Structure 1
Amino acid sequence: MRSTYSYFCINLTDMAKQEYIDKNRRWLAEKATEPGVQPLDKGIYYKILKRGNGPSPNRNSVVTVHYTGRTINGKAFDSSRGGVAPAFRLRDLIPGWIIALQQMKVGDKWEVYIPFEQAYGKISQPGIPGGSTLIFEIELIAIG
């Protein structure tokens, strides 16, 4: 049987996690009202930083991108800047990237706001607490 103290600690941890998720949801809802921010499917939003005029990838495409990923506190957790732009098979990425990149054209540079449900969910990743809304600056360089 669990002690009252251990039950209390578990509930506090659960409460802190829920508060963090709620804070991220509020941040995204506020971001969605800013000028230039547009909706995509499944609660994802984006802002166009630079327009391209090339083709758009499909789910099976290999895309070459430059990107920087941040949490809502502005802390960068990953970036390809300063190196060679990596190539990824689109279908192997997080759902938020799959949805956003299929709408982008080669040459586009977007800031994409992805709710945790379309990113890593409630599971923490290195540098990313579970339940995090993610902000990615993504530049679609090439398809193929």
Structure 2
Amino acid sequence: MAKQEYVSRNLEWLEAKSREPGVKPLDKGIFYKVLRSGDSKGALPGRGSVVTVHYVGKTINGRAFDSSRGATPPAFRLRELIPGWIIALQQMHVGDRWEVYIPASQAYGKSAQPGIPGGSTLIFDIELLAVN
């Protein structure tokens, strides 16, 4: 498949996903669906927070490129992650589990990463376990 066709297919997939029941918008073309709600009165992470999460990352064809499931959940400084994660996680409370749909412009853009072609829309199942 040609690069431009791949990019177009990813954008079309995201547009279709955005119209599904239960899918809600965030900033910059990011969408999410709540899989489980945590404590709505709990703290929200800020850009400088360290977040502990479990996650699975997939491309739109369903192929997983990364996962923390089955291992110790990693901790990340939020500001060091891709923009899509920064935007989504700042809206999540501890215990929330969301499926997040991130356009390439808020992920790796045109750059390919291991297991991720350039221009990919990314799908993440993210569970926020702790904020420090």
Class of the TM-score when normalised by the shorter of the 2 chains: over 0.9
User: Offset at 1:112?
Assistant: 0.1
Give distance in 2, aligned partners of 1:44 and 1:82: 27
Counterpart position of 1:39:
25
**Candidates 49, 65, 70, aligned match of 1:82:** 70
Counterpart position of 1:141:
129
User: Offset at 1:121?
Assistant: 0.4
Q: Deviations over 1:99-128 (max 9, x none)?
A: 000000000000000000000000100000
**Candidates 50, 54, 67, aligned match of 2:36:** 50
Q: Deviations over 1:31-60 (max 9, x none)?
A: 000000000000000000000112110000
SS at match of 2:69: coil
The letter of the residue matching 2:63 is: K
The structure having more radius of gyration, on CA atoms, is 1
Q: Unmatched 5+ residue regions in structure 1?
A: 1-14
**Deviating runs (4+, > 4 A) in structure 1?**
none
**Candidates 39, 53, 59, aligned match of 1:71:** 59
Aligned-pair Cα RMSD in Å: 0.8
Counterpart mapping for 1:1-144 below 5 A: 16-53=2-39, 54-144=42-132
Give distance in 1, aligned partners of 2:27 and 2:21: 19
Greater fraction of residues in helix: 1
Pick which of 46-55 and 36-45 moved more.
46-55
The letter of the residue matching 1:60 is: G
Give distance in 2, aligned partners of 1:105 and 1:59: 14
Give distance in 1, aligned partners of 2:44 and 2:93: 4
Q: Unmatched 5+ residue regions in structure 2?
A: none
TM-score by length of 1: 0.89
